[in-house]
Structure 1
Amino acid sequence: MKLRRIEAIVATVITLVVMVIMFGKKTKNWEARTSLFLEKPFEEKGMTFNFFENHLLPTLLFVALFYIAFLTFNNFIIPRYINKAKYEMALFTSFLTLFILWFGFAYCEWMQHRYNRLTVWAYFGESGRVISSIVSIILFISTYTLAKQGRLFLLQKKLNLSSTLLKESLIAFSVISSAYLFLLVFNGSMAFFWLIISIYLFIMYSIEMYGLLPFCSKAKYSLKQYLYVRLPLSFLIYAPFGFVVVSGLGFNTNAFFALWCCTCLISIPVIKHLYHQKLQHHTKLGNLENALGNSTANLSFLRSQINPHFLFNALNTLYGSALTEGAEITATSIQKLGDIMRFMLHENILDNILLIREIEYLHNYIDLQKLRTDLSQNIIVDYNIQQVTKDLFIAPMLLIPFVENAFKHGISLKEPSWIKVNLSMQDDRLFFDVYNSVHLKRINDPEKNRSGIGIPNVRQRLLQLYPNKHELTIRQTDMEYFVHLTLTL
């Protein structure tokens, strides 16, 4: 079932429930003669008051107009015109719909205030209820659409801090608004109280969960030190919300402070408990990711071991034959290939290796690739790798995947291509840049079907092995692919 159809069904059910509740409540009040104040203005003007015609039906029509507005914008104007970039038709139909709604709200006001002996048009601009209803519709449709689009965005993107906050904000908005509308039917004062206090509590939750509690944990604050910071902060944030509640509901000053104390007694332990649960969840998730990464690496290593002794013996035989025949380039290439294989089988499984060995592997790989690229005048491979003199250590296979990716996607045998590799050191900081051309189709590319460790794998390893010690930037255009890595060793 499509989302908009579900939205229409939910809106219909909510509207019917509200109308049934209002019908029963207002009819019961009238039968109990508790709504006589509605009849008095009509009697003073010598007019007959009809409860259903002059009060109940206009009230139900008022609710129905909100329902019609939601369906018109959400299920017709937005999908048919706005999503298809037909902005002129969207603007025209929006103004037409708002005009009809405006007339409908004015008609409701006219029916309920017929004793004023005015025309319907008199309520278009003079009635604050009509104008506020139109503004409420515009704000609600806009907010709901943005919230829905944000939710759909989160389903398509990997969650980070900003998207997590957005997700929690959308959930809070849904819960607060739903409860507010439900309470509004039964008790307007309770609905008002819920709306203001729940917004304040969610703001405190966000500040504590993502700001105050992480800071206090990092600084190793005790409970007393935490309260010294939390209580003044919460009072500053609470003050405007508490003032609105006290003023709106007619409470006294004692209620102002009592309400703040109650919210603190409830929110402090609850938010701290949620924060500790979240920390435990992240810790378990990190351990599982590390275990999965180690298992994947071990499996990949086992698959790569295809009788290495046989391969080395075969390479040594080819190397000797090439020297005998005077093919020095071939012999050198075979020797470099042997060095690469030894690196992959022996040093690649270590946690850390000398940076010099990683750079030697980088040189060997580029030299082997240049054997085929040097045959074409349209391919330029330029690399500048600074010599390293310090005994610095690095996790293996962090640099070469970017170069492999450049040769795999940056070389075309038919179009002009280029690859540029730069590596430099500044104290214990490594700066690594890789540029390569981009080609959409490479049917004859020998690197096309080759598999490697992959850029996503490198990202994950950097996050695990060098947290807060690396900066990886990847940028791609239609013509160029660029990678910049800064690493503190």
Structure 2
Amino acid sequence: MENNNKKNINHLEFWISTTLYILALINICVRTAYSQPNVYSFVDVHIGYSVIANYFLPNLFKSSSIYISFLLINFCFIPQILKKNNLALNVILLVIVTAISILTWMVAITYSEAYRLLDYPNLSSAYDAFFGEAFGYVFLLYLLFCTYTYLNENGLSLLGKSYLLKNYSPNIVSELFIATKIWLVSLMIFGTILSARFDTEVLVVWLIAPPINIALAFYSIYFTIPNLKKKGKGFGKYFWTNVGLSTVSILILLFILATFMGGGPTVPITLILTSVVLVCITTPFAWYIYKHKFEKQTEIQMLKTELGKSDANLNFLKSQINPHFLFNALNTLFGTALQENAERTGEGIQKLGDMMRFMLHENTLDKISLAREVEYLNNYIDLQKLRISRSGDIKIETTIDDQVNNLQITPMLLIPFIENAFKHGISLQQPSHIKITLQTTNNILHFDVSNSIYIKADNDPEKLKSGIGLQNVKQRLALLYYGKHELIIHENAKEFFVHLTLELD
């Protein structure tokens, strides 16, 4: 699947680059046929002008060199270098292609801008200047090609390893990867506007301004807005916060532009445009994106929760015996036990009947009183004590406080831990123990269960069912008490221990 996706991306890049190249050729041909670009610059300095020699051929060679170089760098050299296949050969070929492109651009500039030769004291100085321009342009553009290709190959995995990004939404890695690719593509498109003279100032501005906007947008979506939302702040507070961040960003941009470009009208124009974009476009756009994402995520989470509840309840009910059948059968057995004066049997049947009634009527509710849940637990424990009453080596300790409060709890949430203790912690042949503690402090429930452990025989049908009940209750806790519970489970060779802290309503 990954290889197919990579092939599709390669095909898309090939056709996009080919389309741009064809459009550039069409533009060159149209301008050659219907106009004479730069002719007045030649006429003003009394130099002969030929639209073929001074425009068509230079721009044809420049566009072709960029197109061919991009294909070689993106599909051949850099992928092979990253895979370390024929490393030295591919590095040498990359250097050779770059050198050829620099010379091609130098010669093309010499012909297309021959009128500039008179601006220099001699031809040697003019050629040095043209070579410097060609070198700077080609080197920077091919560096972008290499960066783009490297990002295609390894960018997503590198961003995924970032410690800072791991603390936020998992989507931020792919979103930042896409934004960076779009920015690099726009840089390459700017760089391949072949019909115009290369403008260093425009490229420097485009190198710096978009990343600042991208950084502010991501910072707003994944840090500023969530933190303000937690404090109950709205758009007004967010807007003025971003105004402050934009001011700091503009000061940083001013320092960078002043360092690279010095003075000139480009600097203030760039600062003004960037300020407007940061405050008037990026800031509200980030707010819209966050709101859209938040609402969608909330809706998805609600659907997952409801689906999880249904799934958890369905799994739980599937694991239970049909309560209608048992309840009717127990009524018959209870009457028989009373007729035969079997008090212990009648007591056990009555407790089991209470449990079945609980399952039949209250298990379907979203919440029940904690006192009713505790009553169910006590009935279950009493029944288990009846079962093991003739074994003197089994010790059962219970400290379950009576609940006189009005706390509510999801039904059947605690019983799986006690069932697990009796299922795996009791042996009729060896000394065994179970200890159960249930206490409440204000609205916090503290529940502890510890039991001895015995390995079941391979032919025991209960052996394969181990852990199903605990997995179910873990799922229910995660869905119904998210952020309101702490479940700690420890196990060693001799003992199994569960501690549950639960915040109740």
The residue identity in structure 2 corresponding to 1:393 is: L
Aligned to 2:242: 230
The residue identity in structure 2 corresponding to 1:211 is: F
Distance apart, 1:164 and its partner CA: 3.4
Aligned to 1:469: 484
Gaps of at least 5 residues in structure 1 are 35-49, 78-93, 116-126, 152-158
Q: Does 1:166 align with 2:173?
A: yes
The residue identity in structure 1 corresponding to 2:460 is: N
Listed as ranges, the matches of 1:124-143 within 5 Å are 141=150
Aligned equivalents of 1:286, 1:440: Cα separation in 2: 40
The residue identity in structure 2 corresponding to 1:387 is: D
Q: Is the 8 A contact 2:488 2:500 kept in 1?
A: yes
TM-score normalised to structure 2 length:
0.62
The residue identity in structure 2 corresponding to 1:209 is: I
Query: CA 1:19/1:269 → structure 2, altered by over 3 Å: closer, same or farther?
Result: closer
Q: Is the 8 A contact 1:433 1:482 kept in 2?
A: yes
Matching residue within 290, 303, 317 for 2:335: 317
Aligned to 1:147: 156
Query: CA 1:447/1:247 → structure 2, altered by over 3 Å: closer, same or farther?
Result: same
Write the deviation string for residues 168-218 of structure 1: whole angstroms up to 9, x where unpaired. 334434444444444443388767655544433333333333433344444
Aligned to 1:357: 372
Listed as ranges, the matches of 1:252-291 within 5 Å are 252-285=267-300, 288=303
Aligned to 1:200: 212
Q: How many corresponding residue pairs? A: 432
The residue identity in structure 1 corresponding to 2:335 is: T
Q: Is the 8 A contact 2:377 2:415 kept in 1?
A: yes
Aligned to 2:17: 18
Aligned equivalents of 2:365, 2:330: Cα separation in 1: 21
Structure 2 counterpart SS, 1:162? coil
Aligned equivalents of 2:77, 2:69: Cα separation in 1: 12
Write the deviation string for residues 332-386 of structure 1: whole angstroms up to 9, x where unpaired. 5434322321221233334443333323323443555677789999x98876544
The residue identity in structure 1 corresponding to 2:213 is: L
Matching residue within 442, 456, 460 for 1:444: 460
Q: Is the 8 A contact 1:401 1:453 kept in 2?
A: yes
Q: Does 1:67 align with 2:75?
A: yes
Query: CA 1:267/1:334 → structure 2, altered by over 3 Å: closer, same or farther?
Result: same
Write the deviation string for residues 403-438 of structure 1: whole angstroms up to 9, x where unpaired. 445667889999999977554444432233456769
Write the deviation string for residues 82-102 of structure 1: whole angstroms up to 9, x where unpaired. xxxxxxxxxxxx2x5332221
Listed as ranges, the matches of 1:169-248 within 5 Å are 169-186=176-193, 193=205, 196-221=208-233, 223-241=235-253, 243-244=255-256
Compute the RMSD of aligned alpha carbons. Answer: 5.5
Q: More displaced, 473-482 or 106-115? A: 473-482
Q: Is the 8 A contact 1:384 1:422 kept in 2?
A: yes
Q: More displaced, 395-404 or 261-270? A: 395-404
Aligned equivalents of 1:442, 1:67: Cα separation in 2: 58
Write the deviation string for residues 220-243 of structure 1: whole angstroms up to 9, x where unpaired. 445544433331133324543565
Aligned to 1:100: 89
Q: Is the 8 A contact 1:355 1:392 kept in 2?
A: yes
Aligned to 2:351: 336
Aligned to 2:114: none
Q: Is the 8 A contact 2:331 2:353 kept in 1?
A: no
Write the deviation string for residues 93-143 of structure 1: whole angstroms up to 9, x where unpaired. x2x53322211123335546789xxxxxxxxxxx99999979985895477
Aligned equivalents of 1:401, 1:216: Cα separation in 2: 41
Structure 1 counterpart SS, 2:169? helix
Between the aligned residues of both structures, percent identity stands at: 26
The residue identity in structure 1 corresponding to 2:154 is: T
TM-score normalised to structure 1 length:
0.64
Write the deviation string for residues 243-281 of structure 1: whole angstroms up to 9, x where unpaired. 546765762235314421232111233233333334443
Distance apart, 1:453 and its partner CA: 7.2
Aligned equivalents of 2:75, 2:177: Cα separation in 1: 22
Instruction: Determine which structure has greater relative contact order: mean sequence separation of CA pairs < 8 Å that are 6+ residues apart, divided by chain length.
Output: 2
The residue identity in structure 1 corresponding to 2:461 is: D
Q: More displaced, 211-220 or 142-151? A: 142-151
Q: More displaced, 204-213 or 127-136? A: 127-136
Q: Computing the radius of gyration over CA atoms, which structure comes out larger, 1 or 2?
A: 2
Aligned to 1:387: 401
